[in-house]
Structure 1
Amino acid sequence: MRKFAAALLPAVCLLAGFAGTASATPASARSHFYSVPSLPWAKVVDRCIGGAECGGTGNRLYFTLDRPAYLSRLEVRANDDVAQRHNAVLRVYVDGDLAGQQDVKQAGSTLSYPLYRFGGQVVLESVSTDGGTEETQVGGVRLR
Structure 2
Amino acid sequence: MKLIHTILVTLCLILVGCVEEDKPRGDEDTPGYTATIYFDALYNKNNMDLALEHVTPRLARIMRSYGTASQFTRNLVNMRFDEVTIEVDMTNESLREQYGDNAKVNLVFTGYFNGEKVDDMRSVQMLRKKGKWYIDKINPDPFAR
- The answer to whether the superposition gives a TM-score over 0.5 is no
TM-score, normalising length: structure 2: 0.24
TM-score, normalising length: structure 1: 0.24
Bigger radius of gyration: 2
**RCO (CA 8 Å, sep 6+): is it higher in 1 or 2?**
1
Q: Which is richer in helix?
A: 2
Q: Which is richer in strand?
A: 1
